[in-house]
Amino acid sequence: MQYVKLGHTCLSDASAAAQEFHRQVAQPGMSLVLFFCSSRYDLSALAEAMVACFGDVPVVGCTTAGELGPDGYQDNSLSGASFPADAFFVSSLLAENLSTIRLNQLQRQTQELEAVHNESRADSDTNSFALLLVDGVSQCEDAITRMIHNSVPCMPLLGGSAGDDLEFRQTHVFYQGKFHTDSAALLFVSTRCPLSAIKSQHFAATDQRLVVTGAEPHKRLVTEINGLPAVAEYARLTGVDESDLNLMRFARSPVVVMINGREYVRSIQQANSDGSLTFYSAIEEGLVFRVARGVDLLSNLSSSLQQACETIGEPQILLAFDCVLRKLEMEQSGDKLRASELIKQYHAIGFNSYGEQYSGVHVNQTFTGMAIGFPEEGL
């Protein structure tokens, strides 16, 4: 029995980084290699080197706003893992041209992929999940995540929105030897290894309500809250001067929305000169928010990880997608090093994202993941 192998390199040269990563994760009979890399790499050179190193092995990845790996939280690096074919069966597709794609077309492709996947996988691969890596500036994540979940409701879905190191200009998804923009990679993974999904958010709703009375959902813009200009009303409710609204202020004071009885965070990207607010998720008129208050991030994450792994034991890998706003908060609070030590204990591999996907919902300021344990015969 072979197991997942983890890798992480901070080499800045793209070809050297790919070769070092390959040295760390290469094993016989790989069904999948996942990697997550800084957008500051020469992506053309990195793609060429990945093909040269891994040949015909399926390799999927994306650019990031920070990487998670065996060395904890890092920047300007490359992290990832290889999955052995004797324990993991993987099917995948690439959805291109997200800005113009028809959801019914992608729904049909998703259902066809599931049918082929289920026909081909071994009977012993009783546990499955769906993994989505999607362009983080496409503004399509909400609709795509919801559609995939509705198409395959029995398969847990998680993932992350690709980043570009806080430039918010162009993010990339890697599939079949190339980096793609305006695209998403969807993977179905089946295994006999035990699985446990994770969702950790360190915010809870207060009694302060915000009703969205003006919005442009396709632009993720909120123009009015409670009938007043969005920036002014948000600043009033959070007790902040409008001139002090910035990325870190928004990170400390997001809003939450209730969906099917559960709280999900909705984060604000920026305040605009016309008095509107740009969100990281699509917002519709009539939506009721509550101002959120923060709790201890590290304590909350530690509890979530412990609870998720109670049933599977020590994971061989934790696929992790952690919002970049959480990283910024940890850097400001000085908790990033402690957080690194925590996720290293759970063998985390992943990236800081521009949004996270969990159970059909596109969320923000959340840590989502899938802990994958060892098969019983390997214990």
Cα–Cα distance measured from residue 203 to residue 194, given in angstroms and rounded to the nearest whole number: 29
Residues 105 and 165 occupy one common structural domain = yes
**Cβ contacts of residue 197 below 8 Å, gap of 6+?**
129, 156, 158, 308, 358, 359, 368, 369, 370, 371
pTM: 0.91
Which among 94, 96, 79 has a CA at the least distance from the CA of 38? 79
Average pLDDT, stretch 49-65?
Answer: 98
Point out the domain boundary residue: 264, 294, 324: 294
In the prediction, which pLDDT does 218 show?
85
333 sits in which H/E element: helix 324-333
Cα–Cα distance measured from residue 133 to residue 28, given in angstroms and rounded to the nearest whole number: 25
Residues 250 and 370 occupy one common structural domain = no
Cα–Cα distance measured from residue 177 to residue 61, given in angstroms and rounded to the nearest whole number: 10
Point out the domain boundary residue: 294, 323, 343: 294
Average pLDDT, stretch 14-22?
Answer: 98
Residues 241 and 182 occupy one common structural domain = no
In the prediction, which pLDDT does 379 show?
41
Phi, psi at 74, each rounded to 5°: -135, 165
Residues 265 and 372 occupy one common structural domain = no
Residues 288 and 370 occupy one common structural domain = no
Q: What is the DSSP string of 294-312?
A: E--HHHHHHHHHHHHHTTT
C-beta atoms surrounding 246 within 10 Å: 11
Q: What is the DSSP string of 343-373?
A: HHHTTEEEEEES-EEETTEEESS-EEEEEE-
Residues 76 and 162 occupy one common structural domain = yes
pLDDT at residue 212 greater than cutoff 70:
yes
Residues 187 and 68 occupy one common structural domain = yes
Helices 336-345, 297-309: axis angle to 10 degrees equals 0
Residues 209 and 262 occupy one common structural domain = yes
Residues 70 and 99 occupy one common structural domain = yes
Could you read off the pLDDT of 259-305 as tens digits, one per residue?
Answer: 777 788 888 989 999 999 999 888 889 999 888 888 889 999 999 99
Question: Domain tally for the chain?
Answer: 2
Residues 141 and 251 occupy one common structural domain = no
- Edge-to-edge strand list for the sheet holding 173-175: 5-9, 78-84, 30-38, 59-64, 173-175, 178-180
Residues 216 and 69 occupy one common structural domain = no
CATH number of the domain enclosing 252: 2.40.30
Average pLDDT, stretch 181-195?
Answer: 97
Q: What Cα–Cα distance (Å) separates residue 320 from each residue in 58, 131, 159, 160, 162?
A: 20, 11, 8, 9, 13
Report residue 58 as tokens.
């399926």
What percentage of residues in the chain have a pLDDT greater than 70? Answer: 99
Domain enclosing residue 188, as ranges: 5-200+298-378
| Confidence grade of residue 176 (pLDDT, cut at 50, 70, 90) | very high
In the prediction, which pLDDT does 377 show?
67
Residues 209 and 344 occupy one common structural domain = no
Average pLDDT, stretch 232-250?
Answer: 87
Helices 14-25, 43-54: axis angle to 10 degrees equals 30
Report residue 234 as tokens.
């948000």
Point out the domain boundary residue: 294, 310, 330: 294
Could you read off the pLDDT of 310-357 as tens digits, one per residue?
Answer: 999 999 999 999 999 999 999 989 999 999 999 999 999 999 999 999
